[in-house]
Amino acid sequence: MNLTEYQSKTLLAESGINIPKGLVVDRGINAGVAFSSLGLLEGVVKAQVPAGGRGISGGVRFVQSSAEAQDVATKLIGSRLATLQTGPDGIVVRKVLLEEVIRAEKEFYLGIVVDRSLGVPTIIFSSEGGKSIEETARTRPGKIYKEPVDPLLGLNHSQSEAISKSSGLFGEAALNLAGIIEALYGLFLRMDALLIEVNPLVFSEGKFVALDAKMVIDDNALFRHPDISSFKEAGEEPMERDAREGGISYLRLDGDVGCLANGAGLAMATMDMIRLAGRIPANFLDIGGSAHHEQVSSALRILFSDPEVRVVFVNIFGGIIHCDLIASEIVDAVRSMRPDVPIVARFEGTDAEKGKKIIIDSELPIIMVSDMEEGIERIKSL
């Protein structure tokens, strides 16, 4: 789960890490009120979407008055912000964060990520943080300090001190930085995070402040964190939210061929075949190997409601789930929703023949195919 900036900063503040004073609003007029209530002379309005590159994409703007804050927030909220990390369609901005402007004396980068090659959390630090961190990593890798942490022994103080000393700071500032590193590592473990990134972590007027933050929480551990379940909705498309609530693995893509399969492997193979045929999948959708009635009907409703979908391919290999169940759900969904897109269906495995008969007997305009190759050929012609 990707958290937005304000959500990540909320968790940082709970761990004792300084963040700028600010307020999150979902209406432009509230941004103007927030500017006044915070007593700001200058502020910054930040679009809250779970993606980087907001600044260069127009999602971060400085404001000098409550009227300007209201105007900028009004324009951002409800718009789609496209960055290098969101893709061309972008993400709808539902909230903005209005913060005080802090002048940095020095900018640092501090992050923690799971190093897949080592199988351990690794702290990454650089004394040259900010927007140029990617360029620094590419051209001057020696400026990037990496410290793997043994998950059984944990982060010891000598490690955090060594990282802090690489910053070029001394005395109380260096001790404070070591404390922030230890607090961040504690948060990383406590929240079952896959990544925490503070960039920039700035030194200003004798203290460190997290000006921006990003967190990724392991979805498999969310049951341990009911307190942040509401965070899931941020930046989530309505169809993706419906899929999550229905227990369906769904990710919207930028194509026009709606895909429904049971099993992640079959779903990915279906997408690959569609691409090889010169078409582009509109989604990844896996109803799982043992889907029930609600999951199947929800999956079809999501596909039929997507305005970008021009054809739907249902590709089922029956195992625990029976093909006749899927066929009945398709018939019910088509009769109730009356989709205006062609549907191609392929069944193999348990009760495949029963499923085919249900489709044929329904006399609905559903195209039955004998195998995946035939299905792909029919999709090419539609």
Query: Angle at which helices 171-190 and 5-14 pack, to 10 degrees?
Result: 110
What pLDDT, in 10s, does the model give residues 79-135? 999 887 777 778 889 999 999 999 999 999 999 999 989 999 999 999 887 766 777
Which residue type occupies 297? S
What pLDDT, in 10s, does the model give residues 158-206? 999 999 988 888 899 999 999 999 999 999 999 999 999 999 999 999 9
What pLDDT, in 10s, does the model give residues 329-360? 889 989 988 998 999 999 999 999 999 999 99
pLDDT of residue 260: 94
- Structure-token pair, residue 16: 């004792």
Query: Angle at which helices 157-165 and 171-190 pack, to 10 degrees?
Result: 130
| Integer Cα distance of 143 and 160 in angstroms | 17
Query: Which phi and psi (to 5°) does residue 188 adopt?
Result: -55, -45
| Integer Cα distance of 11 and 213 in angstroms | 10
Instruction: Say if residue 71's pLDDT is above 90.
Output: yes
Cite the active site residues.
Answer: 109, 197
Query: Which phi and psi (to 5°) does residue 162 adopt?
Result: -65, -40
Angle CA 98–11–126, to nearest 5: 85
- Structure-token pair, residue 175: 């001790």
pLDDT of residue 237: 65
User: What domains does the chain contain, in order, with CATH numbers?
Assistant: 21-100 (3.30.1490.20), 106-229 (3.30.470.20), 238-381 (3.40.50.261)
Query: Which phi and psi (to 5°) does residue 204 adopt?
Result: -145, 125
pLDDT of residue 113: 96
User: How many Å is the Cα radius of gyration of the chain?
Assistant: 25
Strands 193-204 and 106-115: antiparallel
What pLDDT, in 10s, does the model give residues 219-250? 889 889 988 866 765 555 677 777 777 778 89
Global confidence as pTM = 0.71
| Integer Cα distance of 98 and 25 in angstroms | 8
- Structure-token pair, residue 161: 């001190």
**Sign of the dihedral through C-alpha 80, 81, 84, 85:** negative
pLDDT of residue 2: 87
